Amino acid sequence: MFNIAFKDVDTSQIVSDIKTKGYFVFEQALTEAYIKELLQEIDFNQILINNNDVGVVIAQNVKFLTHCLASSKKAYDIITSSKVLEICQEYFNDTYKITNHRIYQTSKNGHMPWHTDNNLQRGKQLSGKHNMPGLLFLFYLSDVTKNAFQYIANSHKWSHEYDHEVYLSDSYIDSKFKQDILTFPMLQGSMILCDIHGMHRAEPFQDHNLIRTTLLFQVDQVGSEYVGHGEKNLVNTEYLDNLTPEIMDYLGFGFKRSYPAFPNTSVATMTPHDLLQLQKKLLPQTLEAISKSIIKSLLPAESLINAKRLLWHFKSKSANYKKY
């Protein structure tokens, strides 16, 4: 999963960098082969519609697989890796929990506002900022040349002055902190770790050929006064081959979570282009469903069951025949 060079980095060095500078970055922390396998677990072209599973949804120009702990073993293994847990253990001075996670694919254009991630929510709505310590983990799953992560140097020390704001405007940041903006274009596999109190964003971009894929997760030291803080974690039990009391606590076993999955999507959050593509796919399926329904209404239910029986016998016989 991790390159040897990253495994060899002293955890205390990582933690001390975050505590002083507010961030730590490492180029190509994940191996290329690992990312390839991880991406094979996700089909970004298969969007959830009446699908009885977790999967990909669309919010404008970004496709999200929010519940990746339920559908990507490779993502689960990164999120619960001993390196990540060691960093958390050393960074936090009390128990910590993963509060949100997702894999997302940004394409064509994007303009994310400057923000911090120490958010408290009431339902879907931001209700304020909190002062719990927290870490944001970001892994580039594609080469990121444009739309790179940006961080304002030392902002983790002053962002609380803006706790009454949801975002800061580009013009305000340019006027006051332009010289402090750090931009991190890096190759696939690179990792960025930052204090959630730091002011950051993904650099705005416009490029019809660009697709950026990212794994993000956030870990907060959730205090007892913040019961319910965080999104629910849907985990595939098949993946839980490394369960310890520490991981159970980190994943939030038995801990209430009241935030809805991010982002909040519906057909209305799709772009006109994606909606049209969807209609194209739905049209033949709609016609097929109509003809099936006409046949069903014309034939007695008994004959349909008999037809299904015969078809099953026929199929299983030909399958058996093929075996020999």
Applying CB under 5 A, the residues found at the interface with Fe ion are 117
Least distance to Fe ion from the beta carbon of 149, Å?
9
Instruction: Kindly tell me which of 127 and 242 has the beta carbon lying closer to Fe ion.
Output: 127
CA dist., res. 231 & res. 259, Å (int): 5
- Residue 42 phi, psi (nearest 5): -120, 130
Residue in the shown chain whose Cβ atom is closest to Fe ion: 117
- Residue 28 phi, psi (nearest 5): 50, 55
Instruction: Kindly tell me which of 14 and 196 has the beta carbon lying closer to ligand AKG.
Output: 196
Instruction: Kindly tell me which of 146 and 232 has the beta carbon lying closer to ligand AKG.
Output: 146
Least distance to ligand AKG from the beta carbon of 215, Å?
10
Least distance to Fe ion from the beta carbon of 113, Å?
10
- Count of other CB atoms within 10 angstroms of residue 133: 21
Instruction: Kindly tell me which of 2 and 149 has the beta carbon lying closer to Fe ion.
Output: 149
Q: Which residue has the tokens 């997702």?
A: 102
State the DSSP string of 201-225: EEPPEEEEEEEEEEEEEEEE---GG
Q: Which does 149 bind (CB under 5 to 8 A by kind): ligand AKG, Fe ion, none?
A: ligand AKG
Least distance to ligand AKG from the beta carbon of 81, Å?
20
Applying CB under 6 A, the residues found at the interface with ligand AKG are 117, 149, 200, 202, 214, 216
- Count of other CB atoms within 10 angstroms of residue 166: 13
Least distance to ligand AKG from the beta carbon of 231, Å?
13
Residue 92: alpha-carbon gap to chain centroid: 23
Instruction: Kindly tell me which of 117 and 195 has the beta carbon lying closer to Fe ion.
Output: 117
Least distance to ligand AKG from the beta carbon of 112, Å?
6
Residue in the shown chain whose Cβ atom is closest to ligand AKG: 202
Beta strands in the chain (DSSP E): 23-26, 57-59, 62-65, 97-110, 119-122, 125-129, 134-140, 144-152, 181-186, 191-195, 200-202, 205-220, 228-231, 257-259
State the DSSP string of 93-112: SS--EEEEEEEEEEEEEE-P
Instruction: Kindly tell me which of 204 and 223 has the beta carbon lying closer to ligand AKG.
Output: 204
* Bridge pairing between strands 119-122 and 125-129: antiparallel
Least distance to Fe ion from the beta carbon of 118, Å?
10
Q: Which does 202 bind (CB under 5 to 8 A by kind): Fe ion, ligand AKG, none?
A: ligand AKG
Q: How far apart are the first and last CA of the chain?
A: 42
Instruction: Kindly tell me which of 216 and 240 has the beta carbon lying closer to ligand AKG.
Output: 216
